[in-house]
Chains A and B, each alone.
Chain A
Amino acid sequence: MPQHLRALAHTGSEVSLDVAPPVTLRAVVDALEARYPMLRGTIRDHVTGQRRPFLRFFACEEDLSHEPPDAPLPEAVSSGSEPLLIIGAIAGG
Chain B
Amino acid sequence: MSNVRVLVGTRKGAFILTADGKREKWDVSGPHFAGWEMYHVKGSPVDPNRLYASQSSGWFGQLIQRSDDGGKTWHQPGTPPGEPPAAGPPKGVSNKFVYDVSVGTGKPLTTHQFYDGTQHPWEFKRVWHLEPSLTDPDMVYAGVEDAALFRSTDGGENWKELSGLRGHGTGPKWQPGAGGMCLHTIILDPSNPDRIFIAISAAGAFRTDDGGKTWQPINRGLYSKYIPNPTAEVGHCVHHVAMNPSRPGVLFMQKHWDVMRSDNAGDSWQKISGNLPTDFGFVIDVHAHEPETIYVVPIKSDSEHFVPDGKLRVFRSRTGGNEWEPLTKGLPQSNCYVNVLRDAMAVDSLDKCGVYFGTSGGQVYASADAGDSWNPIVRDLPAVLSVEVQTLT
Contacts and interface: CB of A to CB of B under 8 A. Distances in A.
Interface string B42-71: 000000000000000111111100000000
B13 to A, nearest CB: 11
A55 B95 contact: no
Q: Is the interface of B mostly helix, strand, loop or mixed?
A: loop
Interface string A1-34: 0111100101000000000000000000000011
Range, interface on chain B: 20 to 34
A46 B81 contact: no
A92 B37 CA distance: 12
A3 B81 CA distance: 16
Contacts of A35: 85
Contact of A47 (B36, B76, B124): B124
B58 A54 contact: yes
Contact of A89 (B59, B61, B92, B93): B59
A45 B85 contact: no
Contacts, number: 70
B59 A2 contact: yes
B228 interface: no
Nearest to B55: A8
Interface in B68-117: 76, 78-79, 81-82, 85, 90-93, 95-98
A93 to B, nearest CB: 8
A46 B79 contact: no
Nearest to B80: A38
B90 A34 contact: yes
Contacts of A55: 59-60
A38 B59 contact: no
Contacts of B90: 33-34, 37, 40
Interface of A: 2-5, 8, 10, 33-35, 37-43, 45-47, 52, 54-55, 88-89, 91-92
